[in-house]
Homo-oligomer: A and B are copies of this chain.
Amino acid sequence: MVVDTPRRILDAAADEFAERGLAGARVDRIAERAGANKQRIYAYFDSKDRLFDRVVEDQIEQLLDAVPFDAVDLPGYAVRLWQFNLAHPSLVRLLLWHALERPGEQLTHAASSHARKVAALRAVRGDDDWPAERLLGQVLGLVHGITLAPGPDPEQTRADLHRAVSRLVG
């Protein structure tokens, strides 16, 4: 076995949940995709619900590792985050499903990472001119919005996003 079973289950579940959401996903399908047995799922993860939570945590961690924050170069960070979203559409879908199906629940990893971003931004720019919290919110909002409504030409979109964030930071 090249990869261990829990890992294979997590990855397969990530695909299934990203495609169909929590309510639409089927445990049997996850087992099949993982090339694993259904009982293994219930042995490692207690229930469909818990599996979903674990998958979301797992994926969020992968995103945070892949796109390090850069308080000095906000336009560059925004572009890299957008590019990551573009390269991993299923991760975006998964997080949207999570936001809809688990309303009011926020992810521990994401929250602490956000706090660290705000602190880093404040250290670089200070807070008097334009509060870091709100500036970051606008930048992330722009990235998320652009991600949801992709234009036809990625290179063009990249340049547009860079320009837009530069204007916000300006």
Contact = CB atoms under 8 A, between A and B. Distances in A.
Interface of A: 20-21, 23-24, 93, 96-97, 99-101, 133-134, 137-138, 140-146, 148-149, 151, 156-157, 160-161, 164, 167-168, 170
Nearest to A114: B149
A142 B142 contact: yes
A167 B157 CA distance: 18
Given A21-B100, A23-B20, A96-B96, A148 B141 contact: yes
A157 B141 CA distance: 12
A144 B140 CA distance: 11
A148 B168 CA distance: 19
Nearest to A20: B23
Nearest to A139: B145
Contact of A164 (B20, B138, B148): B138
Given A23-B21, A93-B100, A167-B170, A141 B142 contact: yes
| Residue of A134, A145, A164 with highest tally of chain B CB at under 10 A | A145
Contacts of A157: 134
A141 B156 CA distance: 15
Contacts of A23: 20-21, 23-24
A145 B141 contact: yes
Contacts of A143: 145
Query: Which 8 pairs, one residue from A and one from B, show the smallest C-beta to C-beta distance?
Result: A141-B145, A145-B145, A23-B23, A23-B24, A144-B145, A141-B146, A167-B167, A142-B142
